[in-house]
Amino acid sequence: MRVVILISGRGSNMRSIIEQSTPNYQVVAVVTNNPSAAGAQYALEQGIQVGVIERHSYGSLAEAKIAVLDRVLEHAPDLVVLAGFMWVLPPPVVAALRGKLINIHPSLLPELPGLDTHKRALAAGFSRHGCTVHYVNEEVDGGPIIAQCSVPVEPSDTEETLADRVLAAEHTIYPLIVNAIATGSVRYADGKVVIQAGAIRDLERSGITVPK
Ligand code: GRF
Residue 92: the pLDDT is 97
Residues with CB under 6 A from ligand 1: 7, 9-13, 83-84, 104-106, 131, 167, 170
**Smallest CA separation from ligand 1 atom 2, residue:** 106
Across the 212 residues of the chain, what is the mean pLDDT of every consecutive 10-residue run?
A: 97 98 98 96 97 96 97 98 97 98 98 97 98 97 97 98 98 98 97 95 94 85
Which residues are 152's β-sheet partners? 128
Neighbour count for residue 176 (Cβ, 10 Å) = 22
Give the whole-angstrom CA distance, residue 93 versus residue 183: 25
> What is the per-residue pLDDT for 200?
94
The answer to whether the beta carbons of residues 122 and 81 sit under 8 Å apart is no
Q: At CB < 8 A and 24+ separation, what contacts does 18-27 make?
A: 18/42, 18/43, 18/46, 18/48, 19/175, 20/175, 20/176, 20/179, 21/175, 22/179, 22/182, 24/179, 24/182, 24/183, 25/1, 25/79, 25/178, 25/179, 25/182, 26/1, 26/2, 27/3
pTM: 0.97
Ligand 1 mutation pick, 8, 12, 13, max ligand atoms within 8 A of CB? 13
Distance 83 CA to ligand 1 centre (A): 6
At 52 the pLDDT is: 97
CA distance 137 to 103: 10
Q: What is the pLDDT of residue 85?
A: 97
Buried b vs exposed e over 188-204: b needs ≥16 C-beta within 10 Å?
A: beeeebebeeebbeebe
Q: Whose CA is nearest to atom 8 of ligand 1?
A: 84
- Site to probe by mutation for ligand 1, drawn from 15, 111, 167 as the one with most ligand atoms within 8 Å of Cβ, is 167
Using CA atoms, how far apart are residues 185 and 93, in angstroms rounded to an integer? 25
Is 134 in the active site? no
- Tens digits of residue pLDDT in 126-183: 999 999 999 999 999 999 999 999 999 999 999 999 999 999 999 999 999 999 999 9
The residue to mutate among 170, 171, 172, 178, having the most atoms of ligand 1 within 8 angstroms of its beta carbon, is: 170
The residue whose C-alpha atom lies closest to atom 7 belonging to ligand 1 is 84
Residue 212 pLDDT: 81
Distance 152 CA to ligand 1 centre (A): 19
| pLDDT of amino acid 165 | 98
